[in-house]
Amino acid sequence: MAIRTELMQPLYAGKPVEYGEETFILSRKDAQFIENQLENLLKKIEEFTSKALKDPSTLALLGLPKDLNGAPSPLGLHIPFARFDCLFDGKDLHVLELNTDGTSGWNIAEWLGEKVALKPDENPNLWLSQRLLDGLRLHRPSAQEICLVDFHEVNTKWEQEDLVERWNRSTSPVGVTSSGGVTVNLAGPIRCARVNPQFRGWKDGALMYRRALSWELRAKPGDARSFLSDWADGKITVVGGWSSDVGMSKVWPAFLKPSLCPETVLISDKNIKQVGDEKEGWVVKGALSYSGRGVFSGHELKEDAWRSCLERALAETKSGRPWILQRRVEVPLWNGKPVELGVYFINGRPAGYLCRAGAGGFISEVSSEKVYPVAVR
């Protein structure tokens, strides 16, 4: 296997990640605005999660099991690590979704800053991998090993292996302050590994960073028996519990109705008639879709295909697999390219940025965009 270094181009699904060296620049004022708005929104989603976990009917509407385990992380967080995907045109901020399960791209965003040699004081992704490691360790400072857990062959395999390699080369600072303002001593390195949930490649007491998607773990419990068994028996500490599913579901904006999110409603017999005649202004999304899959815009579909999509989404919603309708927001342009920002959070605090631009339609891991470095000046 090739030896990875900080200067080796990242891979996704075994192919080089397409990138550009042109830097997306945010003013410090704009960055502060974005981060403050999203930090407040994340707090509201945490509060909503706590309430939803007590109401089986709400969980069902979110597309989640009615008996979802609601235990938060050891720091009391349901969403310890996340990335908001949003649109920002220099004035208005629109939140499209929140990634909790499998949040990716940490070290790719960091690599881009290294690649173009951003100055430390303008690089929001400086030491982002290290800061993620330190954020993990706060959940169990006494742990002797950290394991990133995911299935063996996933599209983000290279990124995960590189992330663990970076961790094993690093040394944590003497103290790290948690989101609760407590400084925890994390002196010294820690063993880090990427493990398959099916085979026990960890010791009792390990701190587990869950990257495996919840729905996949539930769908294939036999392929994750060791991980699920040790988790249920309390032999390991898992960061990224089942309760993070609430934030991952695309239905939560329909409940919270935050001003930052486009109008969002759960699809129904009533509203399907309205949007059927207004296809240019709506997007339909599967509640638990990810990476751009299960997302359809009326703007890009012919009339027959749009109505067929709505009918299928309504039928699935009625059968317990909910879909939402969301007002379409015009994607802003940057140097002539549609552009989307991802804003990372570690233990409830803003931590860095991912910039993706150039796709003709939805910007995601399965579209044709490139990633770009981000600077705050």
CA dist 73 and 82 (Å) reads 14
CA dist 93 and 32 (Å) reads 12
Residues 159 and 80 in one domain: yes
Q: What is the pLDDT of residue 186?
A: 60
Residues 232 and 171 in one domain: yes
Provide φ and ψ at 272, rounded to 5°.
Answer: -65, -30
- The token duo for 29 is 């004022």
CB atoms within 10 A of CB 309: 17
Cβ-in-10-Å burial (0-12, 13-18, 19+) of 371 comes to: buried
Residue 8 lies in a domain: no
Instruction: State the residue for tokens 């140097």.
Output: 335
Residues 205 and 311 in one domain: no
CB atoms within 10 A of CB 314: 17
DSSP state, residue 19:
B
Residues 215 and 233 in one domain: yes
- The domain tally of the chain equals 2
Q: What is the pLDDT of residue 2?
A: 39
- The token duo for 22 is 């042109």
- The token duo for 296 is 């359809």
- The token duo for 377 is 């000046």
Residues 345 and 271 in one domain: no
Residues 225 and 133 in one domain: yes
Residue 254 lies in a domain: no
CB atoms within 10 A of CB 69: 12
CA dist 11 and 16 (Å) reads 4
CA dist 148 and 153 (Å) reads 14
Residue 1 lies in a domain: no
Closest CA to 375 of 109, 35, 162, 132: 109
Residues 275 and 208 in one domain: no
Cβ-in-10-Å burial (0-12, 13-18, 19+) of 261 comes to: buried
Residues 143 and 200 in one domain: yes
Q: What is the pLDDT of residue 324?
A: 94
DSSP sequence for 54-67: T-HHHHHHTTS-TT
Residue 69 lies in a domain: no
- The token duo for 37 is 């708005």
Provide φ and ψ at 73, rounded to 5°.
Answer: -70, 170
Residue 166 lies in a domain: yes
Residues 292 and 360 in one domain: no
Contact between 135 and 346 under an 8 Å Cβ cutoff? The reply is: yes
Q: Which of 287, 303, 327 is the last residue of a domain?
A: 327
Q: What is the pLDDT of residue 181?
A: 53
Provide φ and ψ at 85, rounded to 5°.
Answer: -100, 125
CA dist 96 and 373 (Å) reads 21
Which CATH number belongs to the domain containing residue 270 in this structure?
3.30.1490.20
Question: For the CA atoms of 164, 209, 293, 39, what is the dihedral angle to 10 degrees?
Answer: -110
Residues 111 and 166 in one domain: yes
CA dist 28 and 31 (Å) reads 5
Residue 218 lies in a domain: yes
**Tens of pLDDT along 89-118?**
999 999 999 999 889 999 999 999 999 999
**Tens-of-pLDDT digits for all 377 residues of the chain?**
334 445 578 999 899 999 999 999 999 999 999 999 999 999 999 999 999 999 999 999 999 999 999 999 999 999 999 999 999 999 999 999 999 988 999 999 999 999 999 999 999 999 999 999 999 999 999 999 999 999 998 999 999 999 999 999 876 554 555 555 555 556 567 899 999 999 999 999 999 999 999 999 999 999 999 999 999 999 999 999 999 999 999 999 999 999 999 999 999 998 888 787 788 899 999 988 765 567 888 888 888 899 899 999 999 999 989 999 999 999 999 999 999 999 999 999 999 999 999 865 444 444 578 999 999 99
Residue 332 lies in a domain: no
Q: What angle do CA 77, 327, 93 make, to 5 degrees?
A: 55
DSSP sequence for 335-362: TTEEEEEEEEEETTEEEEEEEEE--SS-
Residue 244 lies in a domain: yes
- The token duo for 271 is 């509203």
Residues 125 and 220 in one domain: yes
What domain range includes position 283?
A: 263-327
Residues 96 and 129 in one domain: yes
Cβ-in-10-Å burial (0-12, 13-18, 19+) of 57 comes to: exposed
Closest CA to 100 of 290, 282, 233: 290
Closest CA to 265 of 317, 305, 316: 317
